[in-house]
Amino acid sequence: MSMRKTAVDILNENQDILKLLTTKYGNVLNRSTLIDMLSSFRNDYGISINVSLNGFIRLLTERTNLFERVSVLLKGKLIRRYIPTFIDGGISPYEIALSLANTKKAYFSHLSAMYINNLTNLEPTTIYVNSEQSPKPVNKENSVLTQRKVDAAFLRPVRTTTNIASFQYQKNNYNVVLLNGKSTKYTGVVSLRPMGFSKEVRVADTERTLIEATVRPSYSGGVSEVLSAYLRAKAQHISVNKILGYLNQMNYIYPYIQPIYFYTRNSGYNLKQLSRVKERMEERNSGINMYLDHQMIGPVLEKNSNVYIPSSMSRRLGINTIDRILTGRPETS
């Protein structure tokens, strides 16, 4: 008389199907995908496994150790992710972070994209995931810039999101900054499989990453790290024309072409590349003195790009600035 098979026996015997379904549902599973997996076992493969959903979860995480349960704190609530232990090379914590976004179009941006695109030697435990907003009409009044408006904006603290999740994985703690960026129709977002990831993910390409870092250095390691990213990008032979094309499509109100000229010029880009950036800057001819970042300490005005930069950066680089160090509110025009 044969012994009745346990649920553990059934699951172990059908690990190939389990692996197939895990891949189908994206490797990082949640409660909904586990419901689908259990249903697929029964209805698509005819595997009789007499357990409830909670029993199935315990079976996967405690009885067989085929999955690791990861608790994520998001908006004051604990949610769960279930990570397979049988994937060759493992699952990146970045994949867990991406699973927290509310759209499949979400992508890695800012410092996370810098990390994936080899634009930083940092190994950040803060992960930036961006889901774009729907298109919004342009406020024509706000789109008319004056120096007074720009000064007022950049002397205030930069706005940052409070939509931050946290989790622990493989004994490391991670924070996930869930952004809702302006609509750009996901310009410059590509799919690739970085080293250490179990699958392809969406990420800003190198040229878009440089723009995002320029626009929001506080999400990108700070202005010195952004300058370093431009230097690393130069070694990768990135396309300045692509940067300019993306910038045109993204249609920012502020003249970010000026900080881009500052970064490319002070990273040693060649004369042909610099002439293209300078030409675009002169076409824009904003008449505005721009800023590298919000609330900089001791900003000085760099002459070539008409951009306020931290005085510490000007001293370190030995670059050409207007002599007057601004200790208070810049003069307005």
- Give the pLDDT confidence of 122-131 residue by residue, as tens digits: 989 999 999 9
Token pair belonging to 49? 């496994």
- Region 214-221 average pLDDT: 97
Q: Tell me how many helices (H) and strands (E) the chain has.
A: 13, 11
Examine the pLDDT at 138 and tell me if it is beyond 80: no
Candidate from 50-54, 218-222, 295-299, 315-319 with smallest mean pLDDT: 315-319
Judged against a pLDDT cut of 90, whether residue 50 lies above it is answered with: no
Indicate the domain borders of the chain.
1-90, 92-290
Residue 148: half-sphere exposure toward Cβ, Cα within 13 Å: 2
> Largest Cα–Cα distance in the chain?
94
Residue 274, Cα to own-chain centre: how many angstroms?
27
What pLDDT is attached to residue 94?
98
The reported pLDDT for the residue numbered 140 is 64
Enumerate long-range contacts of 163-166, CB under 8 Å, 24 or more apart. 163/75, 165/72, 165/73, 165/74, 165/97, 165/100, 166/72, 166/73
* Amino acid 141: pLDDT: 67
Q: Is the pLDDT of residue 210 over 50?
A: yes
* Helix, strand or coil, per DSSP, at residue 149: helix
CATH number of 1-90: 1.10.10
Rounded Cα distance between 79 and 73, Å, is: 6
Asked whether residue 333 carries a pLDDT value surpassing 80, the answer given is no
Reading the block at residue 62, the tokens are: 């405690």
pLDDT at 297: 87
272-328 per-position pLDDT tens digit: 999 999 999 999 988 999 999 999 988 999 999 999 999 889 888 876 665 433 334
Better pLDDT: 142 or 47: 47
In percent, the amount of the chain with pLDDT more than 90 equals: 77
Cβ contact 263:226 at 8 Å? yes
Q: Say what the pLDDT of residue 316 is.
A: 83
Tell me: the pLDDT tens digits for 159-183? 889 999 999 999 999 999 999 999 9
Task: Indicate whether 60 pLDDT > 90.
Answer: yes
- Residue type for position 117: N
**Average of per-residue pLDDT across 138-148:** 79
Structure-model confidence comparison of residues 285 and 28, the more confident one: 28
Provide the CA 299 distance to its chain's centre, in angstroms: 28
The pLDDT confidence band at residue 46, using thresholds 50, 70 and 90, is confident
State how far the Cα of 8 lies from the Cα of 55, in Å rounded to an integer: 11
Q: How confident is the model at residue 331 (pLDDT cuts 50, 70, 90)?
A: very low
Distances (CA, A) of 84 to 15, 60, 107: 12, 9, 22
Question: What order do you get walking across the sheet with 164-169 strand by strand?
Answer: 77-84, 67-74, 164-169, 172-179, 126-130, 107-108, 201-204, 189-192
Across the chain, mean pLDDT equals: 91
- Strand ranges of the sheet holding 290-291, from the earlier edge strand across to the other edge: 290-291, 307-310, 299-302
pLDDT digits 0-9 by tens, 237-254: 999 999 999 999 999 999
Q: Is 162 helix (H, G, I), strand (E, B) or coil?
A: coil
If one compares 324 and 193, the residue with the highest pLDDT of the two is: 193
- pLDDT digits over 92-126, tens only? 999 999 999 989 999 999 999 999 999 999 989 99
Measuring CA to CA, which residue among 176, 84, 88 is closest to residue 125? 176
Give residue 326's pLDDT: 39
